[in-house]
Amino acid sequence: MKGKSLISINDYSKEEQISILELAAHFEQNPIQKILDGYVVATLFFEPSTRTRLSFESAVNRLGGKVIGFSDSSSSSVKKGESLKDTILTVSNYSDLIVMRNPVEGSARYASEVSKVPVINAGDGSNQHPTQTLLDLYTIRQTQKTLDNLHVAFVGDLKYGRTVHSLVQALCNYNTTFYFISPNELKLPSYIKMNIKNSNLKYYQLTDMAEVMSNIDILYMTRVQRERFSDPLEYERVKDAYILKRDMLTDIKENMKILHPLPRVNEISEDVDDTPQAYYFQQALNGVFVRQALITSILGIK
Ligand code: CP
């Protein structure tokens, strides 16, 4: 994977994805290693982030590298009208790797085409969030001891949720049975359903979460993505469609775990947090190890 950008999860083969998960397990055991001495990673965030940006930066810092960048593009020359192309060309003079989040779908692919150094997509609009997918795969494997033959339910905003889009594509490699629970307005896009069909896998679209609770191994909750709605009234109509509460966790499989890419708004009640099923904060921690694995693989150090 040396020098290889990661823009869409399908840019990396199943074998390449697994090699990142294997290496992440090594970093989970040894997260502090001074192997990035002299390397500079740029984090360019044109959209807000807590976990993705800070876990990338934590990953680099714990490996002895340096981070440059911005968390708010209004503090950069973008504010003066500089183009994305010129920004990327400039930053690729100053760094060995660029991690970018941008609200425009396709912007990360474009950045990778003009950059002199590899680019990692940290989320482009509603399209893809491939590093979240790698940490989701790592977490699913950690909790289930396998990625194969699982029953996975996705709940909430399946239309705009980029973490859902890239994770569904990755799980098509593992004989997954999918359950998609959303309001009609927020159904999974057709092109992702086509990926599932082309993999000869089964999926079910429902509106009631209760119908699947006893069947599933993973419950992947998502936030309704307010920032993607053009009509605020439509957001108001659907924002409280699904709220997971502790008393809904009665008739479930023993191994069932609840994941969420976070941030959470109100879709998981706080009384769920101390149940044995809640795993979303460990999931966020895994982001550091997976991103250490990804960075060192792309830089050709591991
Ligand atoms: N999961 C995720 O992308 O979180 P942030 O928006 O906080 O980075």
Domain presence at residue 3: no
Please indicate, yes or no, whether residues 267 and 138 belong to a single structural domain of this protein: yes
50 pocket-lining for ligand 1 (C-beta < 6 Å): yes
List the catalytic residue out of 53, 62, 101, 302. Answer: 101
Residue 218 has a pLDDT of: 98
Considering the domain architecture, whether residues 184 and 173 belong to the same structural domain is answered as yes
How confident is the model over 179-201, as pLDDT tens digits?
A: 999 999 999 999 999 999 999 99
* 1 is a domain residue: no
Amino acid letter, residue 47? E
Q: Tally DSSP H helices, then E strands, for the chain.
A: 9, 9
pLDDT digits (tens, 9 = 90+) for 63-116: 999 999 999 999 999 999 999 999 999 999 999 999 999 999 999 999 999 999
Residue 225 domain boundaries:
130-284
What pLDDT, in 10s, does the model give residues 206-223? 999 999 999 999 999 999
What confidence tier does 237 reach under pLDDT thresholds 50, 70, 90?
confident
Q: Where are the alpha helices (DSSP H) in 173-302?
A: 190-198, 232-238, 280-298
> Do 179 and 74 fall within a single domain?
no
Cα 98 to chain centroid, rounded? 17
CA distances from 285 to 59, 256, 269 (A): 11, 19, 20
Question: Are both 173 and 184 inside the same structural domain?
Answer: yes
Asked if 117 and 138 sit in the same domain, the reply is no
- Same domain, yes or no, for 140 and 56? no
Whether cis (ω within 30° of 0) applies to the bond prior to 48 is: no
Whether residues 136 and 157 share a domain: the answer is yes
Question: Is residue 189 domain-resident?
Answer: yes
Look at residue 52 and tell me if it is in a domain: yes
Q: What residue's CA is closest to ligand 1, atom 7?
A: 50
On whether both 142 and 256 belong to a single domain, the answer is yes
The verdict on the CB of residue 127 being under 6 Å from ligand 1 is no
Span from the CA of 108 to the centroid of ligand 1 (angstroms)? 16
Residue whose C-alpha is closest to residue 24's, from 136, 162, 148, 165: 136
> What total number of domains does the chain contain?
2
**φ/ψ of residue 95, rounded to 5:** -145, 165
In a domain, 152, yes or no: yes
In the DSSP assignment, the letter for residue 268 is B
Q: Mutual orientation of helices 84-94 and 107-114 as an angle, nearest 10°?
A: 50
Residues 270 and 201 in one domain: yes
Q: CB-side exposure of 196: number of CA atoms within 13 Å?
A: 22
* Contact (CB, 8 A) for 220 and 262: no
In short, whether 300's Cβ falls inside 6 Å of ligand 1 is no
Whole-number Å distance between alpha carbons of 57 and 63: 10
Residue nearest to atom 3 of ligand 1 (CA): 52
The sign of the CA dihedral 100, 109, 121, 297 is negative
In a domain, 2, yes or no: no
- For residue 4, tell me if it sits in a domain: no
- Looking at the structure, tell me whether residues 41 and 134 fall in a common domain: no
CATH number at residue 267: 3.40.50.1370
